[in-house]
Structure 1
Amino acid sequence: MAPLLICDNRAEVERERFVPGTPEFRRASLALFIASFLTFANIYITQPLLPLLVDEFDITPAVSSLTVSLTIFALGFALLIFGPVSDAVGRRPVMFWTMALAVLPALLAPLVSSINQLLLIRIAQGLLLAGLPSVAMAYLGEEFSPRALGLAVGLYISGNSIGGMSGRVISGMVAEAYSWRASFLVMGIIGLVGVILFYLLLPPSAHFKPAPAGLRKGLQDIGEHLRNGSLLKAYSIAFVIMFSFVGIFNYITFRLSGPPYNLSPAAVGWLFLTYSAGTISSTVSGRFIDLAGNRVAVILGVLIALGGVLITLLPALWAIVLGLLFFCFGFFAVHAAASAWANRQARRARASAMGLYLLFYYVGGSFGSTGLGFLWHARGWPGVTAGIIFMLALGLLLGLTLRDKD
């Protein structure tokens, strides 16, 4: 009778975890979607505003790009802090309090009088916005059934794409109607409402097991993860795809706001509706990963993104938009596959493992944000696309080395 008892206990544990179709799955998925939406709407709020910041503060495009790259870099740094903290105190408190505090810099940004003050605000935003991405994947891995993890991750990442898209669209529209300062104010108010909904919707952790916090323990966990070859592959993929993603959207704003296109801030903001392809891709990829595996998803996603980059070399505006659609679809497919694969490879200290994934991810974005600026100044859009193609080719090579049985 003992084996039957063990099977019954395992079945009971499985039933306690969130599975599709249950109220808990819907509540948790919606809460994490809202949180993801708010986080990525705020991270990229300045991308359609970069030409306006160049004019107002009399700075270069590369300096204006620091409002994106410093935020991403600060976020990446803070991931190393919040991951180990959540291993000790829990996932839900870290996510909630960092989201709540992140509302304050958004509401203070309209008061700045110099680019340096704005950069400090953006650094503060990056530090606080790190709370959710450093912990969410660990929460997903602990509270959702393994057979539902691909779908749950896909839904969470779709919040990334919708948030990033909506934040840029809202920012561009509000800036054109009022000012770039009003864009921050509007996003601060939206953030406050979102924090309340997140608190009411997200179920408490039922499978979290606290681990002792401390610098030595955190460094030991990081060292163990960095010695894991399977995780290193996922971390490297995260770096190259985010390098490409932030870079392409930073400098497409300068390409399209100048001649011969001369698009307004609102029109540039609407350009980010191409993120909708990423929303579809994230959701579809979750199911595809469960069926075909992470390796195939990464390879196909990179190839689609490469095709999109090449299409943007065409001069027609419709071709540029089409290329961005393909790029977004491929990018979010790769991100969903690589992050889900890393989550499965982390055998312990999952939050710090996923924190490292996101550290590589956001540091890659920070380098792409400003680093591709040198190619923009030297060679224009062809130079930017050459840099992105090189990085995506590295991502393809890394994808070919993945083994789903690792």
Structure 2
Amino acid sequence: MARLSNDYSFNVQTTAPGQRFLPGTAGFRRASLALFIASFLTFANLYLTQPLLPLLVDEFGVSPAASSLTISLAIFSLGVAMLFWGTISDAVGRRPVMFWTMALAAVPVLLAPFISSFNQLLLIRIAQGFLLAGLPSVAMAYLGEEFDSRALGLAVGLYISGNSVGGMGGRVISGIMAESYSWRVSFMVMGIIGVVGVILFYYLLPPSTHFKPRSAGLRTAVVAMWSHIKNVTLLKGYGIAFFSMFCFVGIFNYITFRLSAAPYNLSPAAVGWLFMTYLAGTVSSTLSGRFIDVAGSRLAVVLGALIALCGVVVLLLPSLWIIVIGLLTFCFGFFAVHAAASAWVNKQARQSKASAMGLYLVCYYVGGSFGSTGLGFLWHYWSWPGVTAGLVIALVIVLLLGLSLQAAREQVSKIYSRI
């Protein structure tokens, strides 16, 4: 009984000073759960407008490409803010930045139901993206500092699984609320869930014990970023992030329009349930964590890209059930790629891990922003076959970059020795 109390109490000091978290320990469980909750909230809010896009087109009289700006601008804002929050966390700590940005991010969500124009909604989404950036720009650095290297692959996989559950949950919740009530209620419900999640995060996440403060000055940030940009290994990881997220956001944006129209005519709730295909990503990101620890990130990226490519090709078929299978396959491959590439960058960055991961996530989310609206032009002129062509090209680039990772590893020591 005493052991149960020690493992699950709300006392955040769960590990001895100087000891990093290992699988099976109370500290590992608490930190992993806290980051899973935070990851869920971040991505549930980031993508909650995706099943609502046809409704926004009808209510505000905008085009499908314009409605996608509610996704693109939020993602772009989040990507740019990565650099800001990562640098701040290098100076003041990981836990404070994650907590306060999560808490403040609940404010624009709760204000969204009261807007009266599409431009106001876009401003709300920009503010959301800027504040939501605090968690993903810092979480990987926290993982790298507080978790033992033997647990890092599994911890990253569990964190990434929170991404998939959050992205799925936010879309499902918003779709159901929109059909039962309105899209405004979707925002209100997510805001309330966000407040509860922030409270749980505060009590669960152990404090940083291996964090070493660094100057938050502009010069320090620029020097750190430049060192990462000179690292060929990291650049290839950043390229994988850009093109994989380009595919991920774009595919779900425009499958929404495809399935909302004839001959499918799916309702917002039905489209929302379609995002349950994210469960494949939850499974793959967790499995890939173990796979990365055994076989390495290169093989995980290559296999994930091939699986995602198969899913895209399957989506050309007209049957709704085949489309669901295609989305499951794509999600499985995509989240394996993301978990492997992010773990690769985290391991290869020898210093300023927060800024290294911040730069990874800048590329990741900027890629998603480009895919969200950029693939809209292919949708406008060539419908789904045009979108498919864009997806195939991007995934082939991911595959080639993944194949090149092993050769680039040998250059890491030379690059950092010159800094």
What range is the shorter-chain TM-score in?
Answer: over 0.9
Spell out, residue by residue over 1:304-343, the C-alpha distance to the aligned partner (whole angstroms, 9 max, x if none): 0000000000000001000000000000000000000000
What TM-score does the superposition give when structure 2 sets the normalisation length? 0.93
Is 2:41–2:197's contact at 8 Å kept on the other side of the alignment?
Answer: yes
State how far apart, in whole Å, the 2-side matches of 1:231 and 1:392 are. 18
Is 2:18–2:209's contact at 8 Å kept on the other side of the alignment?
Answer: no
Is the partner of 1:348 in helix, strand or coil?
coil
In the other structure, the counterpart of 1:147 is 150
Residue 216 of structure 1: CA displacement? Answer: 1.0
In the other structure, the counterpart of 2:330 is 327
In the other structure, the counterpart of 1:113 is 116
In structure 1, which of residues 129, 134, 138 is the aligned counterpart of residue 137 of structure 2? 134
State how far apart, in whole Å, the 1-side matches of 2:91 and 2:135 are. 16
- Bigger mean CA offset, 193-202 vs 217-226: 217-226
State how far apart, in whole Å, the 1-side matches of 2:308 and 2:183 are. 31
State how far apart, in whole Å, the 2-side matches of 1:360 and 1:14 are. 35
Is the partner of 2:406 in helix, strand or coil?
coil
In structure 2, which of residues 363, 367, 370 is the aligned counterpart of residue 364 of structure 1? 367
Alignment of 1:37-52 (within 5 A): 37-52=40-55
Counterpart of 1:208, as a letter, is F
In the other structure, the counterpart of 2:6 is none
In the other structure, the counterpart of 1:401 is 404
> Is there any run of 5+ residues in structure 1 with no aligned partner, and where?
1-11
What TM-score does the superposition give when structure 1 sets the normalisation length? 0.96
Residue 66 of structure 1: CA displacement? Answer: 0.1
Residue 265 of structure 1: CA displacement? Answer: 0.1
State how far apart, in whole Å, the 2-side matches of 1:164 and 1:13 are. 35
Residue 14 of structure 1: CA displacement? Answer: 10
Counterpart of 2:237, as a letter, is A
State how far apart, in whole Å, the 1-side matches of 2:256 and 2:347 are. 37
In structure 2, which of residues 163, 177, 180 is the aligned counterpart of residue 177 of structure 1? 180
Q: Does 1:222 align with 2:216?
A: no
In structure 2, which of residues 376, 380, 386 is the aligned counterpart of residue 383 of structure 1? 386
Is 1:304–1:327's contact at 8 Å kept on the other side of the alignment?
Answer: yes
Q: Does 1:266 align with 2:266?
A: no
Residue 15 of structure 1: CA displacement? Answer: 7.2
In the other structure, the counterpart of 1:374 is 377
State how far apart, in whole Å, the 2-side matches of 1:101 and 1:146 are. 32
- The number of aligned residues is 395
In the other structure, the counterpart of 1:97 is 100
Counterpart of 1:400, as a letter, is L
Is 2:164–2:279's contact at 8 Å kept on the other side of the alignment?
Answer: yes
Q: Does 1:237 align with 2:240?
A: yes
Identical residues among aligned pairs (%): 74
Counterpart of 1:130, as a letter, is A
Is the partner of 1:403 in helix, strand or coil?
helix
Which stretches of structure 1, 4 residues or longer, exceed 4 Å deviation after superposition? Answer: 12-15
Is 1:14–1:145's contact at 8 Å kept on the other side of the alignment?
Answer: no
Residue 88 of structure 1: CA displacement? Answer: 0.4
Q: Does 1:343 align with 2:363?
A: no
Spell out, residue by residue over 1:185-243, the C-alpha distance to the aligned partner (whole angstroms, 9 max, x if none): 00000000000000000000000000111111111111110000010000000000000
Root mean square deviation of aligned Cα:
1.1
Is 1:33–1:159's contact at 8 Å kept on the other side of the alignment?
Answer: yes
State how far apart, in whole Å, the 1-side matches of 2:246 and 2:184 are. 27
Is 2:172–2:273's contact at 8 Å kept on the other side of the alignment?
Answer: yes
Spell out, residue by residue over 1:147-180, the C-alpha distance to the aligned partner (whole angstroms, 9 max, x if none): 0000000000000000000000000000000000
In the other structure, the counterpart of 1:3 is none
Is 1:301–1:333's contact at 8 Å kept on the other side of the alignment?
Answer: yes
Counterpart of 2:148, as a letter, is S
Counterpart of 2:179, as a letter, is E
In structure 2, which of residues 55, 59, 63 is the aligned counterpart of residue 56 of structure 1? 59
